[in-house]
Structure 1
Amino acid sequence: MDKVVIVTGGSRGIGAATSMLLALNGYAVCINYRSRNKDAELLADKITQQGGKVFCFCADVSKEDDVIRLFEAVENHFGRVTHLVNNAGILFTQSRLVDLTLARFNRVMSTNINSCFLCCREAIKRMSSGGAIVNVSSAAARSGAPNEYIDYAASKGAMDTLTKGLSLELAAQGIRVNAVRPGFIETEMHADGGEPDRVNRLSPEIPLQRGGKPEEVATAIAWLLSDEASYVTGTFIDVAGGK
C-alpha cells in the first residue's frame, strides 16, 4: 500500500525538514501551507529533483472547509491518506498573560489546536485499515512558557491531551497517535515571537548546551510514523536537549 502523508505547516522549519525526510523515505507527501507559496514550491522542487513524490496545497487548517478541501485534494492526487503530521502552529510576540488580548488567545488556540482536531478527524475517516498520526506539540506544554508564550503553551497542552485521548480511542482500529515535543529548535518561528536569536540566548540553560535542528525533530517524527514504531501509541518524545 502506498504511504500518503499530509504535513501541515510543511513549507518551513520542522515541517519542511519532515516533508523532505518523509519524501526520501518513500512517502507521497502533501506539503500544506497557508501563505508561503514560494517556500512550498521551492521545497517541492528539491524533493522532485531527488525523485520524491510531492504535492503542494494551500489551506488554512484552522478552518473546517479548508481542511475538507485539503483531504479531498490529496485523495484525488495521491489516493487515500495513510499518515498525518499536525505541525501547523503560530505564536506571537513574547508577553505576560495579563497583557494578552482575548483575540490573540483565541487565534493561537484556533490555529494550534482546532487545526489538529480537524485534521485528525478527517484523517481518521480515511484510515479504515490503520494509519499513524504524529502531533507536533512543544516542550512549552510542560514548562508553561511563563512570561513569554503562555497562550502557545496552553494550546500545546491541549494538543497533548488530545493526543493521549485519541490514541486510546483508535488503538483497536490500528491507528497510532503519538506526539513529539520539540524544545529550543533553530527555526524562523522565534522571529515571529520578536527574538530571532532566542535559541542562542537560552542555549546555556539546555543540558546539551545547544539548540536543536529541525532535522533532528523530523527524524523523531519519521520514526513514530514508521512500522518500526508499530507498538508505540499515546507516547510523547521530547526532542529538547534534556531540557
Structure 2
Amino acid sequence: MSQTLDEKVAVILGGTGGIGAATAHRLALSGACVVVVGRDDLSHARTVAEGLPGEGHCAALASITDSATLNDLAGTVRHRYGRADILVNAAGFTQPVKHDNLDALTDDLIDDMFKVNWRGQFAALRAFHTLLAESGDGLVVNVSSISATTGVGSNIAYCAAKAGLDIMAVSLGRALAPRIRVVNVSPGVVDTTFVPGRGADFNDKVAATTPLGRIGTPDDIAAAIEACATHLKFTTGVTLVVDGGRRLN
C-alpha cells in the first residue's frame, strides 16, 4: 500500500546538490514540506524549493562544518513548522587522490574528509535530535558510499569516513530507537559532478562493468531515500546499497 508523507517536515542538507535536489522533489511529491538547505547560496536553494510540487517548502543555509549554524537551522525549523520528522544528510565533499600516493593525502585533507563526511553528519543529527525525537517517528538518512566496504573510492580517507558513517548508523540506530530510525543509503558511481575530474569517459567505463549496465542517477538514490521514509518503516541501523551491483565486481 502506498504511504504518504502528509504533514511531515523533511530537512535536506546538501539540498541543492544532485542527490539532495532529487530527494527534495520525491519527498515533496509524497506530501512532505521540504526545507532545502544549501551551504552558501540562498538563491540556489530558493530556486530548488520554489520548483518543488506542493506547498509549504522553504530554503535555508547552514554549514555542516559549523555546528552553530546547524543549531540555528534547527531553531528556525522549529519556529516555522513546530516539528521535523526527516533529516537527510546529502552534503559531502571529496578530492581524488590515488591510493598509493601517500604524500598527497595530507593531514589537512584527511581532517577535511572526516570533518565534512562524518563529523558534519553527526553534528546535524545532534542539532535535530530533540525535534526528531519529539516527532516519535523520526528518520535520519545519511548518504554513504560503497567505498566504505570496497575500499575503492576517490581517496583512502573518503573511504574511511564513509565506513565510519556506516558504523554510526549501527550505533545510533540502536541508541536512538524507537523514536528515531537511522538508515544509510550507499550509492556506487552516480551521474553528478560530486567527484572533480570525472567525466563521460569514466562513467561509460564504469557502466560497462556494472552488472545492471549503467551508473546510478540522482533519482535512483532519491528513490531509496524516499522508500526509507514511506515503506521501510521497520528498518533501522543498516546501510542499503543502491549501486546497480557495482560492488559485485
Tell me which residue corresponds to 1:10.
15
Tell me which residue corresponds to 1:162.
168
Q: Is the 8 A contact 1:5 1:84 kept in 2?
A: yes
Tell me which residue corresponds to 2:138.
131
Q: Is the 8 A contact 2:166 2:238 kept in 1?
A: no
Q: Is the 8 A contact 2:36 2:46 kept in 1?
A: no
Please give the alpha-carbon distance, in whole angstroms, between the structure 2 residues aligned to 1:51 and 1:117: 30
Q: Is the 8 A contact 2:36 2:59 kept in 1?
A: yes
Tell me which residue corresponds to 2:180.
175
Q: Secondary structure at the match of 1:93?
A: coil
* 1:120-150 deviations in Å (ceiling 9; x for gaps): 112222222231111110111111126x322
Q: Is the 8 A contact 1:4 1:79 kept in 2?
A: no
Tell me which residue corresponds to 1:211.
215
Q: Among 26, 31, 34, which residue is 1:26 paired with?
A: 31
* 1:12-38 deviations in Å (ceiling 9; x for gaps): 210110011111111111111113434
Q: Among 136, 145, 158, which residue is 2:152 paired with?
A: 145
Residues matched between the structures, number: 236
Tell me which residue corresponds to 1:221.
225
* 1:51-74 deviations in Å (ceiling 9; x for gaps): 232111111112110110111111
TM-score calculated relative to the size of structure 2: 0.89
CA RMSD of aligned residues (A): 1.6
Is 1:94–2:97 an aligned residue pair?
yes
Please give the alpha-carbon distance, in whole angstroms, between the structure 2 residues aligned to 1:204 and 1:37: 38
Please give the alpha-carbon distance, in whole angstroms, between the structure 1 residues aligned to 2:60 and 2:22: 17
Tell me which residue corresponds to 2:85.
82
Q: Secondary structure at the match of 2:176?
A: helix
Is 1:241–2:247 an aligned residue pair?
no
Q: Any gaps of 5 or more consecutive residues in structure 2? A: 1-5
Please give the alpha-carbon distance, in whole angstroms, between the structure 2 residues aligned to 1:207 and 1:137: 20
Please give the alpha-carbon distance, in whole angstroms, between the structure 2 residues aligned to 1:138 and 1:240: 9
Q: Any gaps of 5 or more consecutive residues in structure 1? A: none
TM-score calculated relative to the size of structure 1: 0.91
Q: Is the 8 A contact 2:34 2:56 kept in 1?
A: yes
* 1:65-119 deviations in Å (ceiling 9; x for gaps): 0110111111112221111111110011333350211111111110111111011
Percent identity of paired positions between Structure 1 and Structure 2: 30
